[in-house]
Amino acid sequence: TRRSGWECGVTVFVNNILTRLHWRKLGRIFITYGKGK
């Protein structure tokens, strides 16, 4: 249980980072598109 809980925590942590990076990318693309338009 200790190991599975640790893996679950790491998975959530990684998912949070990926989500933030994903939204930053979308934000940059949206801003670039808005400026170009």
pLDDT digits (tens, 9 = 90+) for 18-31: 999 999 999 999 98
Q: Compute the average pLDDT of residues 1-9.
A: 81
Number of domains in the chain: 1
User: What span, in angstroms and rounded, lies between the C-alpha atoms of 7 and 20?
Assistant: 20
pLDDT value, residue 4: 84
Q: For residues 27 and 1, which has the higher predicted lDDT (pLDDT)?
A: 27
User: What span, in angstroms and rounded, lies between the C-alpha atoms of 15 and 30?
Assistant: 22
The terminus-to-terminus CA distance of the chain in angstroms comes to 53
Find tokens 């598109």 and name the residue. 33
Tokens, residue 37 = 């338009």
pTM beyond cutoff 0.85: no
Residue 33 in this model has a pLDDT that exceeds 70: yes
Confidence of residue 37 (pLDDT cuts 50, 70, 90): low
Domain with 15 in it: 1-37
